[in-house]
Amino acid sequence: MKERRYNDAETRRMTEDTMRDGFCILRDHLPKAKIAVWGERFAPLLAQHIEREGQLMNRGPGRFYVTLPFGGPFADEDIFCGPDVLTIVENLVGQDFTMVQLATDTPVRGSDYQDIHRDAPPLFPEWGRETPPFQLALNFPLIDVTPENGPFEVARGTHLMSKEDGMREIKSGGRPLEPICLKAGDIMIRDVRGLHRGTPNQTGTPRPMVVIGYSRKWLLRPEVSIRIPRGIWDGLSDQARHLLRYNQIVDSLDAPAEEIYQSFAY
């Protein structure tokens, strides 16, 4: 397991950034060689997904959501169980949180602007205001993200507002949508309620963005899950098994699972 790169003061600052803005970025956090291997292994998975389920277009034209198999390079504790990440996530969603998602979002040429949305509804809409964080996404790209290949855009601080108030702020220019151009090796930790959208990939190269989801221990969204082969489960550390404790243990990943995470925008 990797040692921490950041001290307590630095992770506290990143926590505060996320509480205030809805996200923080850790630059050059992952080895580029490791990201390159993920990219090589992901390319055929994307091609298979497009052939099998490409007609769904549930994320919009030319944009594909692909769950990653929990095996090979993708079952990497140094990434999903890295100590800096876990420290920041625990600061935001409390002890005993769980890992619930390992997937990718990839726009290709022909993609368009998504509608502005958040990835989860409010816990208590009748309350009229937002709660502390309850679900986070760790995002990292498998290639450099440029203005041309479809950067994620987000409006700072809108995770703390109702969607209606956030949309008014965006339309008035008070909280503009900002493109987030990450390089391979950078990671972003974000509150999934921040208002955001995907933008068009105008290049001929797919732009994969990995998403690892973490939730408070009592939150279950059955549309997202991870199937973990028994042989890999047995080789995980106690910490990783605790993090993944509510996911399905399977004998094999030979049969591809149907994507059921269809309703994603709120």
Q: What is the pLDDT of residue 55?
A: 77
Q: What is the pLDDT of residue 58?
A: 77
Q: What is the pLDDT of residue 53?
A: 79
Beta bridge mates, 67: 103
Which residues, including other chains, have CB under 8 Å from residue 223's CB and lie 6 or more apart? 260, 261, 262, 263
**Mean pLDDT score, 146-154:** 97
d(CA 103, CA 59): 13
**Mean pLDDT score, 212-217:** 97
What fold characterizes domain 11-250? Jelly Rolls (2.60.120)
pLDDT at 246 over 80: yes
- The two structure tokens encoding residue 244: 């993944």
Sign of CA dihedral 63, 144, 151, 80: positive
Q: Model confidence at 153, in pLDDT bands (50, 70, 90)?
A: very high
Beta bridge mates, 23: 190
pLDDT at 1 over 70: no
Sign of CA dihedral 90, 92, 94, 98: negative
d(CA 64, CA 108): 8
d(CA 143, CA 35): 8
In percent, the amount of the chain with pLDDT more than 70 equals 99
DSSP state, residue 81: T
**16-30, 56-70, 181-195: which range is least confident on average?**
56-70
DSSP state, residue 225: -
Higher-pLDDT residue of 208, 52: 208
Q: Is 184 strand, coil or helix? A: strand
Q: Model confidence at 191, in pLDDT bands (50, 70, 90)?
A: very high
Closest CA to 152 of 197, 201, 182: 197
The residue count for the chain: 266
Q: Model confidence at 258, in pLDDT bands (50, 70, 90)?
A: confident
Helix, strand and coil content of the chain, in percent to the nearest 5, comes to 30, 25, 45
